[in-house]
A and B are shown apart, each in its own frame.
Chain A
């Protein structure tokens, strides 16, 4: 076999992490993007800046704060312990939570752009045709923003796959639980297993290229 079992396990884990993170962010990011696209509130600026923070923050900084928050003495940790869930660091679900924060702007910003591009008019038209605001959101805004959803989904998935610093801070390096592909490559290099590192790195390179190719080749105005 071209890849070792441990490599395959790390790839599967990475895919699962990125997939679950993307699904969660579709649900969490959509209302935030909708709000940011349409609000006239003075909070739009500050909230927008917070959403964009992970773009510029070193992943280790984000990971450090999340580790504190989710740790046994942090507010999130206290809550999860009170709910009988234990603490999140060094678990798969801890990674999911961290990835949701880490990839947040990659979901919200394309969606926000897509919603802004739709403008008021289609929603006003829907209202004059008796669609309630919620109805208009699902029957008009979502279909019209479809290209934005595709872009946001691809970017979020790919960005989560490329995550490294946050994983190390929150998840450590537990095989099958938190050892994702990027960490696995790091391990190979640490152990001077350069051939193994090559193989896995090559897979990641091809994957990333294909994702970006899909993103650039897929253009909404290419519709029938």
Chain B
């Protein structure tokens, strides 16, 4: 039973939005799409900052909006009556208040006068040394951390994040990502995370909603959804899967051995205890196929797999092959149509997937 149900239809000149969503009650749901796909508009509808005339939004049984059923009087909670937290893309701290006053602004107004969770949030986001400063004396990454803490201190039932890293440079991004991961592990409220950066999504999300031109084109658990071969062409160039890997041990020659369902991977040394779980991402373009395991190749990582499906891509002469490593664990490979024909690749065939690169995400 999903805890958040949303349905929004909007018509603007040159853009229309038609979205029906069910989100799980826990975990991070990434709303992913290219700019102009309508993902931020969806988030603003959740927050009540945009109003879809016939929208419907139910959060954990509580109706925030219901105007689509033709009754004379619908329900639309204004933003300030919705127990949500929103982190905007760019700095949104009040410039006339100190960091501490910014945090208190939301606390006071959400009935959290006692400051429940103040110490924990301040430590979680590492902003204790900043409390007495003004926002103009913070870096971009520090501002976003304060903004996240400020949102959490209103004790929201739903946390919305609108590309919170998009305005930061790479260094600041890398500085703030570990905090977001901690948040992901420790938060027990649903998070809706809008992003157009595949790496952020792969690192942080549990569920994935793909949007294109105002519509949801795919939605489901992250790993399952990413391994679908039938995604729209806009996403095919970046096609790739995310796998959970467990650290098995360190090799003497500087590599780390990881276990994934249905096989093993060797990657450059990761400083992690055996047993730790890591996320890794494998691009379809980094996977090639062979019919037999070869011993005379420089490619270290070869995984036995079975072909599940073959679909055409937008790139002429190329196909996307969906492979099954183990029950429900899939890999995508992008190969040429010529190779496919030469090797006779089709559903059910046993093949060996040669993985040229593995990106570790955490």
Contact = CB atoms under 8 A, between A and B. Distances in A.
Interface of A: 121-122, 124-133, 135-136, 139-140, 143-144, 146
Nearest to B105: A129
The interface residues of chain B, by DSSP majority, are classed as mixed
A130 B94 contact: no
Contacts of B79: 124, 127-128
B80 A143 contact: no
Interface of B: 47-49, 78-81, 84-86, 88, 92, 94-96, 105-106, 109-110, 150-151, 154
A125 B80 contact: no
Nearest to A130: B109
A109 to B, nearest CB: 23
17 contacts: A121-B88, A121-B92, A122-B94, A126-B94, A127-B49, A127-B80, A128-B47, A128-B84, A128-B86, A129-B110, A129-B150, A130-B106, A130-B109, A131-B80, A131-B109, A132-B80, A144-B95
The interface residues of chain A, by DSSP majority, are classed as helix
Given A122-B92, A135-B109, A144-B96, A129 B154 contact: yes
Contacts of B84: 128
Nearest to A125: B92
Q: Which of A124, A136, A144 has the most CB of B within 10 A?
A: A124
B96 to A, nearest CB: 4
A68 B154 CA distance: 57
A8 B327 CA distance: 96
A-B residue pairs, 4 tightest by C-beta: A129-B106, A127-B79, A130-B109, A128-B86
Q: Which of A124, A130, A135 has the most CB of B within 10 A?
A: A130
Contacts of B154: 129-130
Contacts of A136: 80
A122 B78 CA distance: 16
Nearest to B95: A144
B94 A125 contact: yes
A122 to B, nearest CB: 7
Contact of A127 (B78, B96, B151): B78
Nearest to A120: B49
A69 to B, nearest CB: 40
A124 B96 CA distance: 16
Contacts of A146: 96
A124 B81 CA distance: 13
Contacts of A131: 80, 105, 109
Contacts of A130: 80-81, 106, 109-110, 154
A144 B86 CA distance: 21
A143 B106 contact: no
A133 B79 CA distance: 10
A132 B154 CA distance: 15
A125 B88 contact: yes
A124 B147 CA distance: 13
Contacts of B151: 128-129
B154 to A, nearest CB: 6
Contacts of A144: 94-96
A143 B96 contact: yes
Contacts of B94: 122, 125-126, 140, 144
